[in-house]
Amino acid sequence: MKIGKLNAIIILGLVAIIGILIAQLLWTKQAYSLEEKKFSQKVHIALLEVARKLYEGTNHDLPSENPVVKVSNDYYIVNVNNDFEPDVLEFYLKGEFEKSDIHTDFEYAMYNCQSDEMVYGDYVSSSVKSKEKKTVYFPKHKNLVYYFAIRFPNETTYLFSSLKFWFFLSGALIIILLVYVYSIVTILQQKKYSELQRDFINNMTHEFKTPLSSILLASNYLSKQPQISEDEKLHKYTNIIISQSNKLNSHIGEILSIAKSDSVPLTMDKKRISVLTVLNEVVENMQLKHETLTISIKAEKDVFILADAFHFTNIVYNLIDNSIKYCDGKPSITVKISEENGMLKMDFADNGIGIPQNKLSDIFDKFYRIPNKLSNEVTGFGLGLYYVKKICTLHGWKISARNNPDKGITVTLTIPIR
């Protein structure tokens, strides 16, 4: 994915999440306003019913105009124009608030026209446990004679508690946004480190190849000189230089090809190839290099698969070469080919030193080498099995490894038969 496209996706995702979060906050604010309006209406109806009950049994009629006045969000006054008892008022208030489903603390007070002051009634708590006495300020009303006032000191908290779901949803969206931002920052950092690593590998391999080519040219020239070829020791040392230089050159080429494949996707030239033909060619070459090597191929018939011949040959070579490297005795490898449910299975079983069970899942990682008694003796960069895994993934194949019951490991390729 190009960096421009990645940035566009990141920005679009960020804008989408922020947009959803803003919309959620606006919905929450609107829900709070609706809940506040609903609460005010319920209080208004309950207080109107209390006023009507206070007029019952008296010679006065309920005023034609609305006796309930909302002074502020949590403060209401009710004009009754009639004398009443505090205990009766509290009884009516509790009953009507219960009917109207109003479950929050309130405090009421009555205006005493003789003393021209507000006479505090009582603080009524919605919780049985909390029966503390609180002092709430009740301002006087200039034009009324007989009235009582109600305050809801915890109205805001009460309304917020009724919107728990909305706040939970908003909190969840904020957490998602933070996780998204953190993930994007991490991805960009990893991408930056990956590019630095790839650039370093490219520069390193190119810098190594130039002096190595000079060493190979000089060594090949020296090996052809009469003085060197006639001297057994000098000829031997020259061949060692050439051999090790070629090995180093192949390792550098392997690193460079892996680095390139990470930045530019490998293209697979898939063709119908014979599995046994490739196996026999690789086995023949490997037995020429390793005289003590024993390889047996178990297959009932030849099988044809759709694959890139070059990369498939490299897979087989790498798997067999790995089995030889990590064997502390005479290497013996068995390649078993079988068909199961339309899938071809190739088992590469060896008699090597094996792999700890907790390390099996790591052997296909890039630059990973398992620390063991042969890891210091075996040359390599931990790219062989990474390359094998990469090619299998590009083909749509599966690869797995398991320890054998007695000794060594078995690497299994699972390939669809077409």
Helix pair 309-325, 384-395: axis angle to 10 deg: 150
Identify the pLDDT of residue 359: 76
Q: What is the pLDDT of residues 287-324, one digit of tens each?
A: 877 778 888 888 888 888 888 888 888 888 888 888 88
- The reported pLDDT for the residue numbered 254 is 63
Cβ count near 31 (within 10 Å): 16
Position with higher pLDDT, 106 vs 253: 106
Q: How many residues does the chain have?
A: 418
Domain ranges of the chain: 3-161, 164-263, 270-416
Same fold, 164-263 and 270-416: no
Mean pLDDT throughout 112-127? 70
Q: Which two tokens stand for residue 191?
A: 């991408």
Query: What whole-number distance in Å separates Cα of residue 190 and Cα of residue 86?
Result: 72
Look at residue 398 and tell me whether its pLDDT is greater than 80.
Answer: yes
Backbone dihedral angles phi then psi of residue 175, each to the nearest 5 degrees: -65, -45
Q: What is the pLDDT of residues 233-252, one digit of tens each?
A: 888 888 878 877 776 776 67
**Cα 140 to chain center, whole Å?**
61
- Summarised one tens digit per residue, pLDDT across range 135-168 is 556 766 666 767 788 888 888 787 777 777 777 8
Q: Which of 7-11, 151-155, 334-338 has the highest mean pLDDT?
A: 334-338
pTM of the model: 0.45
Q: What is the pLDDT of residues 13-57, one digit of tens each?
A: 778 878 887 887 888 788 888 888 888 888 888 888 888 887 776
* 182 — pLDDT class (breaks 50, 70, 90): confident
- Confidence check: pLDDT of 133 > 60: no
Q: How many CB atoms lie within 10 A of CB 347?
A: 15
Q: Is the pLDDT of residue 129 over 60?
A: no
- pLDDT, residue 353, reads 82
Q: Is the pLDDT of residue 380 over 60?
A: no
Query: What's the rounded mean pLDDT across residues 380-398?
Result: 81
What is the 3-class SS of the chain, one letter each residue? CCHHHHHHHHHHHHHHHHHHHHHHHHHHHHHHHHHHHHHHHHHHHHHHHHHHHHHCCCCCCCCCCCCEEEEECCEEEEECCCCCCHHHHHHHHHHHHHHCCCCCCEEEEEEECCCCEEEEEEEECCCCCCCCCCCCCCCCCCCCCCEEEEECCCHHHHHHHCCHHHHHHHHHHHHHHHHHHHHHHHHHHHHHHHHHHHHHHHHHHHHHHHHHHHHHHHHHHHHCCHHHHHCHHHHHHHHHHHHHHHHHHHHHHHHHHHHHHHHCCCCCCEEEEEHHHHHHHHHHHHHHHCCCCEEEEECCCCCEEEEEHHHHHHHHHHHHHHHHHCCCCCCEEEEEEEEECCEEEEEEECCCCCCCHHHHHHCCCCCCCCCCCCCCCCCCCCCHHHHHHHHHHHHCCEEEEEECCCCCEEEEEEEECC
DSSP bridge partners of 343: 340, 416
* The pLDDT of residue 137: 63
Residue pair 368/258 in contact (Cβ under 8 Å)? The answer is no
- Rounded Cα distance, 170 and 25, in Å: 7
In CATH terms, is domain 270-416 a member of 3.40.50.1100? no
- Domain boundaries 164-263, CATH class: mainly alpha
Q: What's the rounded Cα separation, in Å, for the pair 73 and 32?
A: 13
Chain mean pLDDT for the chain: 78
Percent of the chain with pLDDT over 70: 78
Q: Which amino acid is located at 196 in the chain?
A: L
Tell me what pLDDT residue 347 has.
92
Over residues 62-91, the pLDDT tens digits come to: 666 778 888 887 888 888 776 677 788 888
Higher-scoring residue by pLDDT: 130, 269: 269
pLDDT given for residue 418 in this prediction:
64
Task: Give 270's pLDDT tier (boundaries 50, 70, 90).
Answer: confident
pLDDT per residue as tens digits for the range 101-111: 888 888 888 87
Structure tokens, 356 = 């700890």
pLDDT greater than 80 at residue 275: yes
What does the pLDDT read at residue 348? 92
pLDDT at 177 over 70: yes
